[in-house]
């Protein structure tokens, strides 16, 4: 893999030169809009309905009220750009459980630079044994991010973290405001079922992206002039049994 960034992790008087690598890639299949007659790509125009003409260089506008916009110019964007410092500044350490997964935005791998293997290793094992994550700031592509660094299986992981203002509060969902108290017998069976299905190790390789793989199979077949018959899958019908019966039946099935 090729590093996308080089810089330094800093906290207190410690400096760790590191490299950043992308950890994930999207498998989303992209499509182009084609003309239904000649099958060539369509071109979208930037069209003004009021002036009834195509606009070559549109302005950027921020809507402050219905139909009223403030024009934002290139100089405005330049004035708020944050200069990259090639530094990941750690401000604090917290128990890993204090950062909910919903705050994770993007993930990267961190590797040591050529001369920082020893200090990197000490930092990695300290985080791992304490089960802590490092929280700090990182300027990347002119934007400042909150970041969390944790010890993964064999290297440090860096996660971009959403700002609190970007995460909607769950209390806005009326359905979860007043949940009923669970029945003690149902709760005991549910906990037993969860314990039966609990694994000591997580193996994500057994999960496949069936939609993407199926779509690619159809695309490859159509490229060869083949035809694939699509069979409709029957959906599971809702059961009329009560929760106790469902939980007991689930446990019996596992036995």
How many beta carbons lie within 10 A of that of residue 152, not counting itself?
16
Largest CA distance in the chain: 72
> Could you give the 3-state DSSP secondary structure of residue 245?
helix
Convert the pLDDT of each residue in 199-212 to its tens digit.
888 787 888 888 88
Tell me, what's the pLDDT at 224?
84
Over the stretch 39-87, which tens digit does the pLDDT of each residue have?
Answer: 999 998 899 999 999 999 999 999 999 989 999 998 888 878 777 678 9
> Binning pLDDT at 50, 70 and 90, where does residue 26 land?
confident
Structural domains for the chain? 5-25+81-165 (2.40.290.10)
pLDDT of residue 218: 84
Q: Residue 105 pLDDT more than 60?
A: yes
- 52: alpha, beta or left, given left = phi > 0 and alpha = psi -120 to 50? left
Query: Could you write out the DSSP letters of every residue in 22-86?
Result: E-----PPP---B-TTT-PBP----EETTTTEE-SSPPEEEEEETTEEEEE-HHHHHHTPPPP-S
% of residues, the chain, pLDDT over 70: 95
pLDDT digits (tens, 9 = 90+) for 209-249: 888 888 888 888 888 888 777 666 666 555 556 888 888 88
Q: Say if residue 59 is exposed, middle or buried (CB neighbours under 10 Å; 0-12, 13-18, 19+).
A: exposed
Mean pLDDT, the chain, integer: 88
CA angle 169, 171, 176 (to 5 degrees): 130
Q: Length of the chain in residues, anyone?
A: 255
Do residues 160 and 105 lie in contact, with contact meaning Cβ atoms separated by under 8 Å?
yes
What angle do helix axes 243-254 and 184-197 make, rounded to 10 degrees?
30
The per-residue pLDDT for 171 is: 81
pLDDT, mean of residues 16-30? 90
Structure tokens at 36: 């239904």
Mean pLDDT of the region 169-173: 83
């Amino acid at each position: 893999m090729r590093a996308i960034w080089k810089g330094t992790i800093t906290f207190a008087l410690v400096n760790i030169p590191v490299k950043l690598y992308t950890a994930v890639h999207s498998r989303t299949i992209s499509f182009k809009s084609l003309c239904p007659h000649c099958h060539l790509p369509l071109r979208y125009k930037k069209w003004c309905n009021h002036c009834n003409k195509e606009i070559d260089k549109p302005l950027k506008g921020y809507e402050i009220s219905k139909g009223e916009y403030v024009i934002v110019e290139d100089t405005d964007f330049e004035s708020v750009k944050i200069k990259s410092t090639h530094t990941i500044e750690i401000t604090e350490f917290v128990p890993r459980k204090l950062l909910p997964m919903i705050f994770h935005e993007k993930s990267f791998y961190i590797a040591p630079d050529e001369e920082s293997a020893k200090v990197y290793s000490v930092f990695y094992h300290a985080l791992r044994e304490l089960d802590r994550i490092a929280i700090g700031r990182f300027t990347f592509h002119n934007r400042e991010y909150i970041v969390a660094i944790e010890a993964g299986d064999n290297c440090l992981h860096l996660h971009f973290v959403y700002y609190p203002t970007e995460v909607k509060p769950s209390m806005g969902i009326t359905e979860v405001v007043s949940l009923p108290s669970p029945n003690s017998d149902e709760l005991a069976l549910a906990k037993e079922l969860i314990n039966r299905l609990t694994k000591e190790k997580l193996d994500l390789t057994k999960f496949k992206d069936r939609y993407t793989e199926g779509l690619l199979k159809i695309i490859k077949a159509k490229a060869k002039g083949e035809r694939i018959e699509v069979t409709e899958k029957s959906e599971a019908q809702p059961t009329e049994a009560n929760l106790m019966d469902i939980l007991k039946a689930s446990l019996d099935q596992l036995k």
